[in-house]
Amino acid sequence: MNGDGLPADRVTIAVKISTFNTRGGSPRRGWLVYSVDLNTEDSTWLAFIDEGRGIADLREAFPRAVEVCTVAVSVSEYKAAKALTS
């Protein structure tokens, strides 16, 4: 098992997404977290972690996650990703 409770042949990756701030100035940033099989490259969606204004919960929830990239998305794409956890 790895540090995120997954089998040793899987890795946890986090893709950071960001878009324009809300009208009130709050940031819209977060991570899409996936488990990836190192043998087959198949992935499983695990969670969306909202960054919000404070310190992100990514490291607390997935301490061994590797942030692989940051992607700029539209507001509607961000809202759709965030809705995955609702």
For residue 13, pLDDT beyond 90: yes
Instruction: Please indicate, yes or no, if residue 5 is contained in any of the structural domains.
Output: no
Q: What pLDDT sits at residue 59?
A: 83
pLDDT (average), residues 55-80: 87
Is 40 part of any domain?
Answer: yes
Residue 28 lies in a domain: yes
13 forms bridges with which residues in the sheet?
A: 34, 66
Please return the burial class of 78, using the count of CB atoms within 10 Å of its CB with bins 0-12, 13-18 and 19+: buried
- Domain range spanning residue 26? 10-83
Entry pTM? 0.80
Question: Is 60's pLDDT higher than 70?
Answer: yes
The pLDDT confidence band at residue 6, using thresholds 50, 70 and 90, is low
Q: Give how many domains the chain has, as a whole number.
A: 1
Is residue 14 within 8 Å of residue 67, measured between CB atoms?
A: yes
Residue 10 confidence (pLDDT) above 60: yes
Does residue 85 carry a pLDDT above 90? no
Residue 2 lies in a domain: no
